[in-house]
């Protein structure tokens, strides 16, 4: 079964090398010619010292594959989805947030669609080098389509380095992860702190908890249960800098639209803390770019 | 008429030197022996090159004065107010925010009380040096007591360098200034920007406007009128760094309690944007101190 992985970011590189390691046939699709060339020449280096030779192509050169695993950011899906619809292959989406769910629904795919939340920690060092910073599992769920295909894919992907958890309810795993993300990502970026500070500092914790309450209410989950889950993830990742914090530090576009933006779009009542943080991140994105121009 | 100025910060030093310049008899009261000694030895230097010799004493050595002008921060009033009650002298309070109004009410003063908002810009360079960064006026109002005494004080203080505006409604001048402060001070500190960015960046502006709406509602003023006023002040001070931004930069205690804290205490409905910013500043105060300890 030929696997196409779309996206050459940290999760794309990590997934590609872990699947090759356990014997899968993998092609990785990237946006830039330069990254394609480097991977084809040197393979992917999974630190400290495992190199995996993997066929790399441009996203514009999509082959027939038996399944596509889409690891790009949600804001990079535009344009890609209609191409994927034409392939008729099953698709596995691994984006943060839930913005991609709206995107997927708007396309009306006919093929089997899986979604997953990824608990692996990964850091991209350069175009062909990735560090596996935290072992986790992939929570895999059927969004629509063929249930036996879903089981086949799970068996195909599962391995010692790539454990799979079959999650019966796609909405629940994405919603729970979204709540974690809407608390941790914007707040660590605004306050420029590691994850652990969110509960070590009682004033940030007050903001974090209120944000969790608002998000749980939008998504219809139990606020206290989700707050316990958010606190657990904060404890487990207390020494990490969140992906959004790293993005704002490095003046890169953030995933704020897929995370806070999704909740603002789907809120029926008032969600002022999510709204404040949303505007704060959007303004930081603009300020950082202004700084770049000024420099 | 002997004037006692309490507080050796930027506004205390500026007020003392401007009043001495126009011939008033002034004693300045400060907290630290070191500042007292420096002022007694060298006078106050009003940059670029005017030196005014002024009698300095410690706040613990309060003399009889014909009026006290209190220029300390609101959070430094504790303990001072009961001493001032005993002097029976008229008192003029020049604090930011409205936290001092609650403090004054709790003491039940018998003497004449004036309050003022100060439009002068001042920057303290060192214990005896101050820079007059923006000429403005003092909006002076009677809070309680003798109206003819109020007029006498206004005449005494008024001068070319110290213009006085007699404001008939003390609540209105303090409330309008408080709205300006609750927008400009916390938001410039959170986003680490000069005042002008609050309206140049549309996402910070959305937060600023919503904050102004909440504050106007708590204080019973017209939201659109106050937003126009806040925008006007932001334009006039666009190149300035707010006092709270400077305080957070320098790891000093901020005036957040007198500003946002006052509004949280007096709100009947929900004021989530003010609440978010309040917790944000309180957490920054703690984070900065932690950084100091870590270094």
Question: Could you tell me the pLDDT band of residue B264, with boundaries at 50, 70 and 90?
Answer: very high
Contact A58, A26 (CB under 8 A): no
List Cα–Cα distances, A184 to A45, A165, B282, in angstroms.
29, 23, 19
Name the active-site residue from B36, B73, B128, B177: B177
Chain A interface, best mutation among B283, B288, B291, by max A CB count within 10 A: B283
Residue A286: predicted pLDDT: 80
Contact B140, B167 (CB under 8 A): yes
Q: Exposed, middle or buried by CB within 10 Å (0-12, 13-18, 19+), for B86?
A: exposed
How far is Cα B122 from Cα A113, in angstroms, rounded to an integer? 63
What ipTM does the predicted assembly reach?
0.82
Element (H, E) at B6: strand B2-6
Our CA dihedral for B232, B235, B237, B238, rounded to 10 degrees, sits at 150
Considering only the beta carbons, identify the residue of B201, B273, B279 that sits closest to A283: B201
Residue A293: predicted pLDDT: 40
Taking 70 as the threshold, does the pLDDT of residue B291 lie above it?
A: no
Element (H, E) at A52: strand A50-52
Taking 60 as the threshold, does the pLDDT of residue B167 lie above it?
A: yes
In angstroms, what separates the C-alpha of A239 from chain B's closest C-alpha? 16
Q: Exposed, middle or buried by CB within 10 Å (0-12, 13-18, 19+), for B81?
A: middle
Considering only the beta carbons, identify the residue of A193, A206, A287 that sits closest to B287: A193
How far is Cα A58 from Cα A34, in angstroms, rounded to an integer? 10
Taking 90 as the threshold, does the pLDDT of residue B290 lie above it?
A: no
Q: Do B282 and A203 touch (CB under 8 A)?
A: yes
Our measurement of the distance from residue A184's CA atom to the centroid of its chain's CA atoms, rounded to an integer in Å, reads 14
Question: Could you tell me the pLDDT band of residue A193, with boundaries at 50, 70 and 90?
Answer: very high
Q: Do B203 and A282 touch (CB under 8 A)?
A: yes
Residue B289: predicted pLDDT: 58
Considering only the beta carbons, identify the residue of A193, A273, A287 that sits closest to B272: A273
Residue A288: predicted pLDDT: 66
Chain B interface, best mutation among A245, A249, A257, A272, by max B CB count within 10 A: A272
Question: Could you tell me the pLDDT band of residue A79, with boundaries at 50, 70 and 90?
Answer: confident
* Maximum C-alpha span of chain A: 56
Taking 70 as the threshold, does the pLDDT of residue A222 lie above it?
A: yes
Taking 90 as the threshold, does the pLDDT of residue A211 lie above it?
A: yes
Taking 90 as the threshold, does the pLDDT of residue B1 lie above it?
A: no
Helix (H, G, I), strand (E, B) or coil at B252: coil
pLDDT per position as a tens digit, A158-184: 998 889 999 999 999 999 999 999 999
Taking 70 as the threshold, does the pLDDT of residue B37 lie above it?
A: yes
Question: A-side interface with B, Cβ within 8 Å?
Answer: 190-191, 193, 197, 201-204, 206-207, 210, 270, 272-273, 275-277, 279-280, 282-284, 286-287
Contact A71, A5 (CB under 8 A): yes
Q: Is B124 part of the annotated catalytic residue set? A: no
Considering only the beta carbons, identify the residue of B193, B275, B287 that sits closest to A191: B287
List the single residue in A with minimal CA-CA distance to B272.
A272
Q: What is the mean pLDDT of residues A45-61?
A: 95
In angstroms, what separates the C-alpha of B197 from chain A's closest C-alpha? 9
How far is Cα B229 from Cα A152, in angstroms, rounded to an integer? 65
Taking 60 as the threshold, does the pLDDT of residue B295 lie above it?
A: no
Taking 50 as the threshold, does the pLDDT of residue B87 lie above it?
A: yes
Q: Do A287 and B197 touch (CB under 8 A)?
A: yes
How far is Cα B245 from Cα A127, in angstroms, rounded to an integer? 39
Tokens for B285?
Answer: 């105060």
Q: What is the pTM of this model?
A: 0.86
pLDDT per position as a tens digit, A122-150: 899 999 999 998 888 999 999 999 999 99
Residue A289: predicted pLDDT: 58
Taking 80 as the threshold, does the pLDDT of residue A294 lie above it?
A: no
Our measurement of the distance from residue A67's CA atom to the centroid of its chain's CA atoms, rounded to an integer in Å, reads 18
Q: Do A207 and B283 touch (CB under 8 A)?
A: yes
Question: Could you tell me the pLDDT band of residue B292, with boundaries at 50, 70 and 90?
Answer: very low
Residue B135: predicted pLDDT: 85
Contact A198, A188 (CB under 8 A): yes
Taking 60 as the threshold, does the pLDDT of residue A291 lie above it?
A: no
Tokens 């704060």 appear where? A280
Question: Could you tell me the pLDDT band of residue B26, with boundaries at 50, 70 and 90?
Answer: very high
Chain B interface, best mutation among A207, A213, A290, by max B CB count within 10 A: A207
Taking 50 as the threshold, does the pLDDT of residue B268 lie above it?
A: yes
How far is Cα A7 from Cα B262, in angstroms, rounded to an integer? 51
Question: B-side interface with A, Cβ within 8 Å?
Answer: 190-191, 193, 197, 201-204, 206-207, 210, 270, 272-273, 275-277, 279-280, 282-284, 286-287
How far is Cα B283 from Cα B277, in angstroms, rounded to an integer? 10
List Cα–Cα distances, B259 to A62, B70, B275, in angstroms.
58, 18, 11
Contact A7, A36 (CB under 8 A): no
How far is Cα B181 from Cα B178, in angstroms, rounded to an integer? 5
Q: To the nearest whole number, what is the mean pLDDT of chain B?
A: 93
Question: Could you tell me the pLDDT band of residue B45, with boundaries at 50, 70 and 90?
Answer: very high
How far is Cα A91 from Cα A85, in angstroms, rounded to an integer? 9
Considering only the beta carbons, identify the residue of B193, B204, B283 that sits closest to A203: B283
Percent of chain B whose pLDDT exceeds 90 = 86
Tokens for A41?
Answer: 């020449």
DSSP codes joined into one string, A138-195:
EEEEEEES-HHHHHHHHHHH-BTTB-EEE-S-HHHHHHHHHHHHHHHHHHHHHHT--T
How far is Cα B218 from Cα B50, in angstroms, rounded to an integer? 44
How far is Cα B63 from Cα B57, in angstroms, rounded to an integer? 9
Q: What is the mean pLDDT of residues B233-261?
A: 93
- A45 bridge partner residues: A51, A129
Residue B288: predicted pLDDT: 66
Question: Left, alpha or beta for A160 (phi > 0: left; psi -120 to 50: alpha)?
Answer: alpha
Taking contacts as CB-CB distances below 8 angstroms, the residues of chain B near A198 are none
Residue B231: predicted pLDDT: 97
Taking contacts as CB-CB distances below 8 angstroms, the residues of chain A near B270 are 270, 272
- A130 bridge partner residues: A46, A124
- A17 bridge partner residues: none
Question: Could you tell me the pLDDT band of residue A292, with boundaries at 50, 70 and 90?
Answer: very low
């Amino acid at each position: 079964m030929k696997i196409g992985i779309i996206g050459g970011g940290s999760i794309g590189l990590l997934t590609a090398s872990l699947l090759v390691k356990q014997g899968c046939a993998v092609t990785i699709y990237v946006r830039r010619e330069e990254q394609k060339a480097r991977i084809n020449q040197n393979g992917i280096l999974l630190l400290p010292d495992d190199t995996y030779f993997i066929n790399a192509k441009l996203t514009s050169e999509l082959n027939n594959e038996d399944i596509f695993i889409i690891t790009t950011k949600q804001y990079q899906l535009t344009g890609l989805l209609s191409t994927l619809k034409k392939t008729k292959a099953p698709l596995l989406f691994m984006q943060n947030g839930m913005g991609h769910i709206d995107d997927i629904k708007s396309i009306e795919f006919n093929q089997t669609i899986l979604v997953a939340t990824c608990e692996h920690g990964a850091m991209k060092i350069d175009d062909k080098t990735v560090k596996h910073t935290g072992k986790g599992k992939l929570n895999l769920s059927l969004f629509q389509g063929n249930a036996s295909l879903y089981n086949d894919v799970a068996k195909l992907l599962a391995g010692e380095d790539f454990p799979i958890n079959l999650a019966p309810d796609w909405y629940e795993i994405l919603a729970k992860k979204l709540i974690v993300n809407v608390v941790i990502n914007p707040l660590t970026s605004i306050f420029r702190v590691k994850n652990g500070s969110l509960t070590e500092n009682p004033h940030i914790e007050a903001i974090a908890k209120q944000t969790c309450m608002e998000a749980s209410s939008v998504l219809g989950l139990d606020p206290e249960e989700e707050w316990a889950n958010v606190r657990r993830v904060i404890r487990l990742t207390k020494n990490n800098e969140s992906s959004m914090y790293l993005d704002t530090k490095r003046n890169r576009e953030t995933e704020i639209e897929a995370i806070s933006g999704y909740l603002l779009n789907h809120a029926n009542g008032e969600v002022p803390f999510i709204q404040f943080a949303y505007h704060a991140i959007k303004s930081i994105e603009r300020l950082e770019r202004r700084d770049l121009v000024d420099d």
